[in-house]
Amino acid sequence: MAEESSDGQEKTEDPSERKLEKAREDGQVLSSKEAFVFTTLAMAVVLMMGLSSVSSAGLTHWGTLFRWDNADHIDTLAFGKLVQSFWMIIIISTIIGVPMMIVTLFTQLAVGGVNFAPKSMAFKANRINPISGLKRMFSAKSLVELGKSILKVVLLFGVAGLLIYGQLPSILRLSEGTLNGAIEKMGDVFPALLGAMLIVLFIIAAIDYSWQSYSHTKKLKMSRQEQKDEHKQTEGSPEVKAKIRRMQMEQSQASSQQRESLENVADATAIITNPTHFAVALKYVAGEAGAPVVLAMGKGRIAEQIIERANDSKITIMRSPLLARALFFTSDIGGEISEKLYNAVAIALAYIYRIDNGETLGMPDIDLPEDLRFDENGKTSKDVE
């Protein structure tokens, strides 16, 4: 029966790549202890066979380290032999240890991949909780591990017993022969015994790998709802994606309209800037009905182009950051300005008109209500609150 998730749905779907990646981050990777047992024992057998030709000479040399021909300068000799013994232990440990480490690393690499997960090394209170420990001891996983261990012992002893039983008559006659004959006979039996045990361990490792792979996948299975939730987290909900696409289209259309409006800058009455981030080109003819019209506007590079064209056309440019941003965020190209900006724009146009007529004036104080005081992102102080 499939497991159930927290929402009550059965976990029937294979884990996604994101779920597998998160499991690796938490230290949950596929591993098989029996595979390690088989590969390390196989490597030990290979090392024994490979080093058999030099082991006799090595043992002889080791024996000389504990033999003194005379007692002269025994302190110096003892120290020298101690150093030689130490280096022999280092060399032997390296010859045996390095291949063992390599085969262990490659075994994990082949089974589930090498993974370094700091999260798995973090302290967890349930690891020292006796109740949690008892639950782990009597869990289904622990029972499976116990059964697997019992089966392994039974199989190994069974195979060893059968092999020895088949050689029992010749083994019983060893006492009647010479020592060399007994050693030769055991030299035939021992490799056969090791080979049989390796075959059994290989079968056990294959079974354990299959079981661990099944258990690992089952543990990470997902319900359909979990898959949907994960998809929303990684890809976003359809509603959010549709909203983003709509906003992108609107921004693209606005940018295109702003670029096209650059051709109208030459007909503007005045340019309001911020001083270079935003630029709005206004047209107003005194005596005509209607409010001032926005001929062109933009920010960034488009604002710079509006200012450049205004300079080429000798159009007066007024720097008023608050007014420029208010016009930009409340107006449409080709449309009239907002009624809330009539007074502020009237002050600005009156100032520009007098400047164009040669008067020397100080910059007018243009005040705007709080809901029209925009920052560069189009937010007002009320929006921030």
Q: What is the DSSP string of 286-330?
A: TTSSS--EEEEEEETHHHHHHHHHHHHTT--EEE-HHHHHHHHHH
pLDDT for 46-92, tens place per residue? Answer: 887 777 666 666 666 666 666 666 555 566 666 677 777 778 778 87
pTM above 0.75, yes or no: no
pLDDT tier, 134 (very low <50, low <70, confident <90, very high otherwise):
low
In the predicted structure, residue 271 carries a pLDDT above the cut 90: yes
- Going by pLDDT thresholds of 50, 70 and 90, the confidence category of residue 194 is confident
The pLDDT tens digits for 212-259 are 888 888 888 887 777 777 766 666 556 666 777 777 777 777 777 777
* Whole-number pLDDT of residue 292: 92
Indicate if the pLDDT at residue 118 is higher than 70: no
Average pLDDT over residues 303-313: 91
What integer pLDDT is reported at residue 341 of this predicted model? 92
Q: Is the pLDDT of residue 17 over 60?
A: yes
Q: Are 223 and 12 in contact (CB under 8 A)?
A: yes
- Mean of the per-residue pLDDT values for the chain? 78
Ordered DSSP codes for 94-127: HHHHHHHHHHHHHHHHHHT-----GGGGS--GGG
In CATH terms, the fold of domain 254-384 is name from scop (3.40.1690)
Give the pLDDT band (50/70/90) at residue 273: very high
Kind of pairing between the strands at 317-319 and 270-273: parallel
Window from 38-52, 105-119, 211-225 with minimum mean pLDDT: 105-119
Q: What is the pLDDT of residue 323?
A: 93
pLDDT surpassing 90 at residue 280: yes
Give the span between the Cα atoms of 357 and 175, in whole angstroms: 131
| Mean pLDDT on 8-26 | 73
Residue predicted with more confidence, 29 or 301: 301
Least confident of 128-137, 272-281, 300-309: 128-137
- Average confidence (pLDDT) over 136-161: 80
The count of C-alpha atoms lying within 13 angstroms of the C-alpha of 360, restricted to the half-sphere facing its C-beta, is 0
> In DSSP terms, which residues pair with 116 in a beta bridge?
none
In the chain, DSSP assigns E strands to 270-273, 278-283, 293-299, 317-319
The rounded percent of the chain whose pLDDT value lies above 70 is: 74
Q: Cβ(372)–Cβ(380) under 8 Å?
A: yes
Provide the residue ranges of all domains of the chain, joining segments of one domain with +: 17-232, 254-384
Residues 344-375: tens digit of each pLDDT? 999 999 999 998 888 888 888 888 888 889 98
Establish how many alpha carbons lie within 13 A of residue 345's alpha carbon, considering only the half-sphere containing its beta carbon.
Answer: 27
pLDDT band at 45 (very low <50, low <70, confident <90, very high): confident
pLDDT given for residue 166 in this prediction: 78
